[in-house]
Amino acid sequence: MVGRPFGKSYPSGHGEAGTVDTADTRVVVPASGSADRPTGRPDSPVSRAGLSRLLEQEPVLWPLAAIIDLGGPAAMVWVSGDRMPASSMPLTDQGSSSTASTIPVLVVGALGRMGAHVVRAVAAEADLDLVAAVDTAAAAQGQDIGSLLGLGALDVAVSQDLEGHLCLVSQQHRGAVMVDFTHPAVVYDHTRAAIAYGVHPVIGTTGLSPEQLDDLADFSRKASVGAAVIPNFSVGMVLLQQAAVAAARFYDHAELVELHHNGKADAPSGTCIKTAELLEAVGKIYNPTVVEEKESLAGSRGGQRPSGLRLHALRLPGLVAHQEVIFGGPGETYTLRHDTMDRSAYMPGVLKTIRQVGALEGLVYGLEHLL
Ligand SMILES: NC(=O)c1ccc[n+]([C@@H]2O[C@H](COP(=O)([O-])OP(=O)(O)OC[C@H]3O[C@@H](n4cnc5c(N)ncnc54)[C@H](O)[C@@H]3O)[C@@H](O)[C@H]2O)c1
C-alpha cells in the first residue's frame, strides 16, 4: 500500500463496527463524529468479547487501537500484536525505527519557524523518533523534511494528512507524541484529534480560548491521554512569572507588555495571558482608579482584564518574543523583563515536555508544572 493508508475512512461512522479488512489486515472501528473531526467515541462499540473474537479470527493483527465503550467517555484500549507488514505501510513511514525505548514524535507545522526548530531538535535526540512531518505548505508535499531543512535525508516526507498519520502512529506505537506549532484557527481540532487517537498532544500553538482549554482538559482526562498545552516553553519565562507572582504581594499597580514579531496572529500572546492569570491567582484587584481616564485614541491604554490588569501588545519586525511586567508603587517601579533572542530557547522545554507528557494524567497547562 502506498500513500495514505486509511485517509478519511477512519473513523467514518459508516460500515460494520469492528470488522476486519483482510486485504490490509486492519480492524475498522467506526466512531461517531465527522470524518474530519473524530470524537473517539464509537457509534457501535466493539465489546471486549467482540474484540477477543476478532483477535481469535485474525491472528495476523498488528497493534490494534480499539475504542471500547465503557459506558462513559472514550477510552483507548490497546491490544498488542505483530507489527504492521512493511509492505502495507505508507511510503513515507516505511523504515520507521521507533522502538520500545524511543518516543515516536509527529511534528505538525513542521515547516514553520517553530516547527522546523522542533524537527531539528527531535532528530538530534537518540530517544526520540521523528515519524511524521505534517504541514499544509503545498510546495513541500512529499519532500523529505530533513532535506528541506538542510539536515540530510530523514526518510520522513512532508504530508498534510494529519489524521492519516495520527491513525497510523496510534496503531503502530504506544505513547506517541504530537507536537503542534501551527495556527490558532486549527490548534483546537488538532488537539482533539490527537487525544481521540490516543496520541499525546504537546501544544505550543497559542490562542486556545478558556472554554476550549476546559473542553480539552475534560476530554484528555476522560480518554486517559496525557496532554500538555504550554504557552511558553522557555525556562526563563517561567522564572519571570514566578518572580512576578512573588512581587505581586507588594504592589497594587501592574501592567504587562508583550512584544513579538509582526508575523504573530493572536494578541495578546498566550504567555502574557498566562502571566496575568498567575498574578490574578494571588487574589487581588490591580490598578485601583486614581483619576477618571479618557482615551483620545481607542486602545491607547491596552486591554483591561476584570482583575484590573492591563495588557499591551507590540508587533514589530526584528522582535522575536519579549515580555515585561512593570509594577508601580510610591516613588518606585519594579520591572521584570524576559527576552527570547532565538527560538532555540524553547527547545529544552519542548524536549522535556515530549518526554513527560506520556506520564501525565489529563491536561497540564504551563511548563512550570513540568520543571
Ligand atoms: N509555546 C511557545 O513557546 C511558542 C513559541 C513561539 C511561537 N508559539 C506559537 O506557535 C504557533 C506557530 O508559530 P510559528 O512562528 O512557528 O508560525 P509559522 O507561521 O512560522 O508556522 C506555522 C506552520 O504551520 C503550518 N500550518 C498552518 N496550518 C496548518 C495545518 N492546518 N496543518 C498543518 N500545518 C499547518 C504552516 O504552513 C506553517 O509552516 C503560533 O501560535 C505562535 O504564537 C509558541
State in Å: Cα 135 to ligand 1 middle: 10
Q: 99 pLDDT band (50/70/90 cuts)? A: low
Q: Check pLDDT > 60 for residue 65.
A: no
What the block records as the C-alpha cell of 45 is 462499540
State in Å: Cα 21 to ligand 1 middle: 37
End-to-end CA distance of the chain: 43
- For ligand 1, atom 28, which residue shows the shortest CA distance? 182
Q: What pLDDT does residue 276 have?
A: 97
- The answer to whether 107 touches 118, Cβ cutoff 8 Å, is yes
Q: What pLDDT does residue 97 have?
A: 55
Q: What pLDDT does residue 181 have?
A: 98
Q: Check pLDDT > 50 for residue 162.
A: yes
In the chain, what are the domain boundaries? 7-79, 98-233+345-369, 235-340
294 is catalytic: no
Q: 346 pLDDT band (50/70/90 cuts)? A: very high
Q: Check pLDDT > 50 for residue 85.
A: no
Q: Check pLDDT > 50 for residue 197.
A: yes
Ligand 1 binding site (Cβ under 6 Å of any ligand atom) = 108-109, 111-115, 134-137, 162, 181-184, 186, 204-207, 230-233, 264, 346
Quick: pLDDT tens for 308-317: 999 999 999 9
Stretch 337-361: mean pLDDT: 96
> Which fold would CATH assign to domain 235-340?
Dihydrodipicolinate Reductase; domain 2 (3.30.360)
Question: Which positions ≥6 away from 50 have C-beta within 8 Å?
Answer: 18
Among candidates 204, 259, 250, which has minimal Cα distance to 227?
204
- Domain spanning 98-233+345-369: which superfamily? NAD(P)-binding Rossmann-like Domain (3.40.50.720)
Q: How many residues does the chain have?
A: 371
Quick: pLDDT tens for 218-254: 999 999 999 999 989 999 999 999 999 999 999 999 9
Quick: pLDDT tens for 10-28: 222 222 223 223 222 233 3
**Which segments within the chain are labelled E, that is strand?**
19-21, 26-28, 64-67, 76-79, 103-108, 128-134, 158-159, 177-180, 200-203, 227-229, 253-260, 303-304, 310-315, 321-329, 332-340, 363-365
Q: What pLDDT does residue 174 have?
A: 87
pTM, full prediction: 0.71
- For ligand 1, atom 39, which residue shows the shortest CA distance? 112
